[in-house]
Amino acid sequence: MPAVSLEFFGSGTSQGVPIIGCECSVCTSLDPKDRRLRASVLIATSSTQVLIDCGPDFRQQMLRTDHARLDAVVLTHEHMDHVAGLDDLRPLIFAQNEPMPLWATDRVEKRLREQFAYAFSTKRYPGAPEFELRRIEPGVEFTIGDQRWIPILGEHGSWPVLGYRIGDIVYLTDVSGMDKEERRKIRGAEVLVVNALRKTPHISHFSLEEAVEFALETEVPNVYFTHISHHMGHHHEVNAELPKGMALAYDGLKLKV
């Protein structure tokens, strides 16, 4: 597997940070690291660029990078903060002049066909985004360009959610639990990205303490937390309290393995 990079397009939870109308000290912070768009990352090798999740901030996220093409989009699950930007793939679909490959499980595909019925109907109106659905089977590796993808099944409250290992990078979002078999797929990686919502517990997301404990068990040396809420606190303060090798992610952060 060639060198892989991961770029954080967004590191925020479903409402983003700042939250509309919130006057808390995090939402009004002037530190750019306290401003978090919805969770999404770009996985790139020299020849292939793949987006994980396409939330409501996708357009802004794409505009603020120097990327103008994508080879595929891979989804973790169907929640709106991870799929609401799919319509904004249109400029890329038009420029690349081919349907965008969209990787998802059958369950997620079913939801997409309801949520984006106009894009999947047999009589699509002109200008609707055109996707080429590719099925992910949990436990079955797949290839996109020169990238090898290993799905990792997690629990998101009572929903299933997929994380991915691409080379020595593991990306997990919206996870609140994972069985031992799946955790084994993380071992030996160089970088682990895992969600940590806030300091207090939540029914369908790891808290910071749970995420730290999860990360320690994997023994991955470089850990970044994402899908962060304003309740987490200020980036620089929380970051300073974390164990060695662990940090909060922030929008725009790039990692290379």
In the complex, which residues of this chain contact Zn ion (CB under 5 A)? Answer: 22, 24, 27, 79, 81, 174, 230
Least separation in angstroms between CB 187 and Zn ion: 25
Q: What is the 3-state secondary structure (H, E, C) of 19-68?
A: CCCCCCCCCCCCCHHHCECECEEEEECCCCEEEECCCCCHHHHHHCCCCC
Q: Which is nearer to Zn ion, 167 or 194 (CB)?
A: 194
Q: Which is nearer to Zn ion, 71 or 78 (CB)?
A: 78
Cα distance between residue 164 and residue 152, in whole Å:
5
**Alpha helices in 153-203, H assignment, sequence order:** 180-183
Residue 203 makes CB contacts below 8 A (sequence gap 6+) with: 157, 176
Q: Which is nearer to Zn ion, 155 or 190 (CB)?
A: 155
Q: Which is nearer to Zn ion, 38 or 147 (CB)?
A: 38
Cα distance between residue 34 and residue 11, in whole Å:
10
Least separation in angstroms between CB 231 and Zn ion: 8
101: left (phi over 0), alpha (psi -120 to 50) or beta: beta
Q: Which is nearer to Zn ion, 165 or 227 (CB)?
A: 227
From residue 252, alpha-carbon distances to 10, 11, 61, 85, 123 in Å are: 8, 9, 9, 18, 39
User: In this structure, are strands 142-144 and 254-256 parallel, antiparallel, or unpaired?
Assistant: unpaired
Least separation in angstroms between CB 90 and Zn ion: 23
Least separation in angstroms between CB 101 and Zn ion: 22
Least separation in angstroms between CB 138 and Zn ion: 17
Least separation in angstroms between CB 82 and Zn ion: 6
Q: Which is nearer to Zn ion, 34 or 182 (CB)?
A: 34
Q: Which is nearer to Zn ion, 27 or 242 (CB)?
A: 27
Least separation in angstroms between CB 202 and Zn ion: 11
Cα distance between residue 126 and residue 25, in whole Å:
46
From residue 234, alpha-carbon distances to 10, 30, 83, 194 in Å are: 16, 10, 27, 18
